[in-house]
Structure formats: structure tokens, C-alpha cells
């Protein structure tokens, strides 16, 4: 069509009509272009994820110090990238307002200080070290991360913290508590029941499998110590029992320890823990609710005395609203026994006889009467952290049991950084009344002695960033110490990971 002979008005009218007719088609073409671009980006992204998986597998197969490389092509709609449970890399993608996850399931543990989410092609490295593979990129801010069981296992020292799957504790976290894998108190530990389970059996975390079975009914999963669960029995024919085992037939030295929150005082006395009533026991009595520690000789007679009835007693007033720690120790070798309340010695007596052994089962929350072959004297209240040792803990060790609910620390293993350390990034949960302090150490000369250090008090939360200003800009060895504290025995701060990095 020739528009030269037409007026400008006629020309614009015709062009306008053509544009109007073409607009839907143009919109479709534009959407097709967008879809093609998105599909193309997704294809490159998916291909690079396969490449990443292969690189990680190669590095893991080659072993420590091996390094492989790949390119990660990130599209423009990635909103989050993270490592989950050490073996899953998850990218969250937003397509037209709908979120979906791309998950790479791996056969080895992986760590990284951060993963790219902005659009682009990133040079990536997969480096094998100490049983895991670390992902890093020279195209991103450099950093080092401590975040998993692998890191906690490489710690230089620790005390009164848990970093394992024990009851309802998580191996990828640091929290206050007792960890039998690392604590020196675990020597000769014959039974350790956390009562964290919400079902049966109650797992024994010593090496002896002295699991306990509920006899009757109980409140499993009630609030316990340090954010964990506990158990509660009602004093009405309900208790826990562990079968007779050679590890519980203790003769020369013994320690019994139990955390408990008493309910109503018994009419006479009630059994907290004991193997029958002719070997060893802890009881709560009706007179002010005091607790006794009883050990008996081969003839069934009390070896220790000093209580209003028999055995050694604590005379503290027991508060129904608080958790108490009762600990009794006896050594026929040293010829002495002690009873402690909340880590402090309350009473002692001398004795030299070996303990009597028995084929009776061990009860928690009840007493087995050997004479009548019956269960009675049922206890009412909350129960936590029951421990039995075949040695007598000393006064300092008993105090550590008590302090495990107040303060603990972990000094991490060291890692090498070839970048300037300017920020500390952490993920933690810090309830009111608790605290986490992180001290970062720099060893410039790699001689095991810190040349610089900086203390940071965490506020808690996800990806908390604290600026650092104390470190030299040279390749160095770094490590950290985390100190956890709580003024409430029912809660604990939780540290999930720590990273050091350059600033963005």
C-alpha cells in the first residue's frame, strides 16, 4: 500500500489500525521471547548443577587436598541457595511468583560459606578436606565456615557442650549439656538416660545398651533441662525399668546421679533410682523431702549412715518448681562416701565394704522390694539425666555435672585463610537469659599461638553480621572459641554455624 498520496490523518489512522491489530501478536512474541530466555537459562543452570555434582563426587573420590573445578550458571530468578543436612544443596527459584526448589542430593558431606544467587556464571572449586568437600568461588567474597558435625569433631577442646544426636539434640548445633563422646566424665559410665524420647524405649547413651522401658504410663516429652525433653511419673504404679546387666552389678565404686523436679512429697519414702532395695538406691523421704543415698554390703546392711533413717542424706529444702541434682558417690577402695545437692557436698561417711550384687532389675521412680518380690514406693515428679558410674566421681567432677547447665565452651579446629578477615557471620538462637560469645583467633606464623584475637557477643538470629577489625591482611590460620552460658537451667543458647569472610 502506498501512503504517499494520503493525508497525514489518513496515514496515521491506517497505521494505528494496523498496530491495534498487531498488539496481541506482539505481546505473544514478547512472552515467547521471555519464555525462551528463561528456558535457556534454566537449561544452563540444570546442566551446571549436574557438573557441580560430578565435581564434588570427583573431589571426594580423590581424597584430601584434591580439588576440582566447574562453572555454576545462575539464572536471574534464584532467591536462595543453601546446604541442608550437610548432603543436600538446595536452590530456591521464583518463576512467575511460584517458588520451587532444585535439590542436589549428594553422597558426601559438603560445606560452603556462601553460594551464589545473583545471575551470572561463577567459577567454582570443590576441595576435599577431612572427610568432606568444601565449595568456594574466587568470583565471590572469600570466607571460611564452621557449621557441622565434621567441624565440631575437629575441635581442639570442649567442655559441657553437646554436638551430637543425643535425644533431641542435633549434631549440627552446639548447645549446653553432657556429651559422653567427649566428656572425661564418661569414663566408667555404665548408664546414661536422657529421657528426651517421646516414646519407648528410653535410650541408654553409654556403651552398654541399658535402655529403660516404661511400666505403666508417664508424661514423655514434658519440658526438661536446657531446652530438651524430660519424663514425668505420677506416683501411681508408674515407673521405668532397665533389665539386669553385668554392667550394673557394681561392687567396688559407684556414683548415682539424677536430675529431678519433685511433685507431692511421699507418705513415707519413694524410690528415685535403685537396683532392688538391697544393693544401691536413691530415695526421697517425706520429712521435708530430703534425699538419701544408700549402698548395702553383702549381708544387706547399710555401709554408710548419717541420715534420719539410713544412708547419707541432703537436708536442703526441695522446691517443686525447680530442677534439683542429687549425686551420691562411694568407694570401698578409698573407704568413703558422699552425697551432693546441686553439685555441693552435703554429707559424708566412711566405709570399706564392697557393694552387694543382685539379679534384680534397675528401677527409676519406684522401689523393688526384694523380700516381697513387689514394686512399691512410687515416686512423683519430673526425671532427667539419670547416670550410673562404676567409679566414684570426685568433688570437682560432680561440680562439673552441675555446671553443665550453666556454662560450656568449644574451641574449634583451625583453618587457613588467604583473604582479609573483616566480618563474622553466624546463625544462632539466644533466648533471654542466655549468652554466646565468640572469640576469633589469628595465627600469622602458624606456630599454634594466636597473634591477634577479637571478641564478639552475639545477638542471635539468622545470618547475623559483626564487623571485625583486629586482623592482619596476610595468609593466616584462624580458629574460634564459643562460650555458651545460661542463667536458667531449662533453656540453652544454640550456635548453628560461624563464618569469617571479607566484607561484601
Compare 140 and 196 and report the one with higher pLDDT: 196
Specify the pLDDT at position 249: 97
Over residues 27-46, the pLDDT tens digits come to 433 344 334 445 667 888 89
Q: What is the mean pLDDT of residues 147-155?
A: 84
pLDDT in tens, 251-270: 999 999 999 998 877 777 89
Average pLDDT along the chain: 86
* DSSP code string of 381-412: EEEEEEEEESS---HHHHHHHHHTTTEEEEEP
Same domain flag for 214 and 241: yes
CA-wise closest residue to 480 among 438, 431, 424, 445: 438
User: Does residue 243 register a pLDDT over 90?
Assistant: yes
Strand extents, DSSP E, 137-279: 143-146, 157-159, 161-162, 174-176, 189-193, 212-215, 219-223, 229-234, 239-242, 253-262, 269-275
Instruction: State yes or no: pLDDT of 387 exceeds 90.
Output: yes
pTM of the model: 0.72
Question: Could you tell me the CATH number of the domain that includes residue 477?
Answer: 2.60.120.260
Count structural domains, the chain: 3
Q: Which of 65, 39, 223 is nearest to 129 (CA)?
A: 65
Provide the CB-side half-sphere exposure for 178 (13 A, CA): 26
Tell me the three cell numbers of residue 288.
Answer: 521435708
pLDDT recorded at residue 8: 39
Residue 396 has pLDDT above 70, yes or no: yes
Q: Which residue has the higher pLDDT, 206 or 28?
A: 206
- Which backbone phi and psi does 161 adopt, to 5 degrees? -130, 155
The answer, yes or no, to whether residue 159 has pLDDT greater than 90, is yes
Domain presence at residue 301: yes
Answer yes or no: do 385 and 446 share one domain. no
CB 266 within 8 A of CB 381: no
Q: Are residues 61 and 189 in the same domain?
A: no
Same domain, 296 and 419: no
DSSP, res 202: B
Q: How confident is the model at residue 138 (pLDDT cuts 50, 70, 90)?
A: low
Same domain, 418 and 377: no
- Whether 12 has a pLDDT exceeding 80, the answer reads no
Q: Is 25 within a domain? A: no
pLDDT digits over 307-327, tens only? 666 789 887 766 777 899 999
> Could you tell me which residues are beta bridge partners of residue 247?
none
- Same domain flag for 283 and 360: yes
Containing 13, the helix (H) or strand (E) segment is helix 8-62
Asked whether the predicted pLDDT for residue 23 surpasses 70, the reply is no
More confident residue, 374 or 322: 322
Domain containing 395 equals 178-402
CA distance 188 to 245: 15
Question: Does residue 428 sit in the same domain as residue 332?
Answer: no
Tell me if 275 sits within 8 A of 248, measured CB to CB: yes
* CA distance linking residue 141 with residue 118, whole number of Å: 13
pLDDT in tens, 339-358: 999 999 999 999 999 999 99
Q: Domain check: are 350 and 387 in the same one?
A: yes
The answer to the question of residue 6 being in a domain is no
The upper half-sphere exposure of residue 5, i.e. CA atoms within 13 Å in the direction of its Cβ, equals 2
Same domain, 232 and 307: yes
Residue carrying C-alpha cell 560445606: 111
Amino acid at each position: 500500500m502506498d501512503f504517499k498520496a494520503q493525508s497525514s490523518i489518513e496515514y496515521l489512522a491506517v497505521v494505528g489500525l494496523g498496530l491495534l491489530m498487531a498488539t496481541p501478536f506482539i505481546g505473544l512474541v514478547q512472552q515467547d521471547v521471555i519464555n525462551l530466555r528463561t528456558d535457556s537459562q534454566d537449561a544452563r543452570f540444570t546442566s551446571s548443577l549436574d557438573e557441580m555434582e560430578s565435581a564434588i563426587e570427583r573431589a571426594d573420590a580423590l581424597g584430601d587436598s584434591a580439588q576440582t573445578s566447574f562453572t555454576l550458571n545462575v539464572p536471574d530468578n534464584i532467591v536462595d541457595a543453601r546446604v541442608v543436612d550437610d548432603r543436600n544443596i538446595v536452590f530456591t527459584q521464583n518463576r512467575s511468583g511460584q517458588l520451587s526448589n532444585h535439590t542436589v542430593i549428594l553422597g558426601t558431606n559438603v560445606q560452603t560459606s556462601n553460594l551464589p544467587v545473583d545471575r551470572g556464571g561463577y567459577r567454582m572449586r570443590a576441595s576435599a578436606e577431612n572427610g568432606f568437600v568444601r565449595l568456594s568461588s574466587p568470583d565471590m567474597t572469600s570466607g571460611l565456615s564452621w557449621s557441622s558435625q565434621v567441624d565440631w569433631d575437629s575441635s581442639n577442646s570442649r567442655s559441657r557442650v553437646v554436638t551430637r544426636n543425643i535425644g533431641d539434640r542435633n549434631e549440627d548445633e552446639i548447645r549446653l549439656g553432657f556429651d559422653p563422646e567427649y566428656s572425661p566424665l564418661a569414663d566408667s559410665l555404665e548408664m546414661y538416660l536422657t529421657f528426651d524420647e517421646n516414646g519407648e524405649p528410653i535410650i541408654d547413651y553409654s556403651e552398654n545398651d541399658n535402655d529403660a522401658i516404661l511400666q505403666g504410663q508417664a508424661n514423655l516429652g514434658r519440658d526438661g533441662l536446657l531446652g530438651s525433653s524430660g519424663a514425668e511419673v505420677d506416683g501411681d504404679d508408674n515407673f521405668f525399668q532397665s533389665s539386669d546387666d553385668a554392667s550394673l552389678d557394681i561392687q567396688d565404686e559407684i556414683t548415682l546421679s539424677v536430675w529431678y523436679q519433685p511433685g507431692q512429697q511421699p507418705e513415707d519414702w519413694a524410690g528415685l533410682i535403685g537396683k532392688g532395695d538391697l544393693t544401691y538406691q536413691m530415695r526421697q523421704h517425706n520429712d521435708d523431702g530430703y534425699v538419701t543415698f544408700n549402698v548395702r554390703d553383702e549381708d544387706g546392711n547399710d555401709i554408710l549412715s548419717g541420715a534420719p533413717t539410713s544412708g547419707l542424706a541432703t537436708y536442703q529444702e526441695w522446691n517443686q518448681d525447680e530442677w534439683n541434682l542429687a549425686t551420691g558417690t562411694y568407694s570401698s577402695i578409698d573407704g568413703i562416701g558422699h552425697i551432693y545437692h546441686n553439685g555441693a557436698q552435703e554429707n559424708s561417711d566412711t566405709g570399706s565394704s564392697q557393694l552387694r550384687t543382685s539379679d534384680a532389675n534397675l528401677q527409676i521412680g519406684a522401689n523393688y522390694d526384694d523380700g516381697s518380690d513387689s514394686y512399691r514406693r512410687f515416686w512423683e515428679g519430673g526425671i532427667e539425666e539419670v547416670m550410673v558410674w562404676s567409679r566414684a566421681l570426685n568433688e570437682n567432677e560432680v561440680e562439673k555435672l552441675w555446671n553443665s547447665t550453666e556454662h560450656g565452651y568449644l574451641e574449634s579446629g583451625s583453618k587457613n585463610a588467604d583473604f582479609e578477615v573483616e566480618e563474622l557471620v553466624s546463625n544462632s538462637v539466644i533466648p533471654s537469659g542466655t549468652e554466646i560469645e565468640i572469640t576469633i583467633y589469628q595465627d600469622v606464623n602458624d606456630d599454634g599461638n594466636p597473634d591477634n584475637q577479637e571478641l564478639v557477643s552475639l545477638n542471635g538470629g539468622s545470618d547475623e553480621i559483626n564487623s571485625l577489625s583486629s586482623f592482619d591482611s596476610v595468609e593466616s590460620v584462624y580458629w574460634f572459641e564459643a562460650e555458651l552460658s545460661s542463667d536458667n537451667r531449662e533453656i540453652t543458647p544454640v550456635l548453628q554455624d560461624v563464618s569469617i569472610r571479607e566484607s561484601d
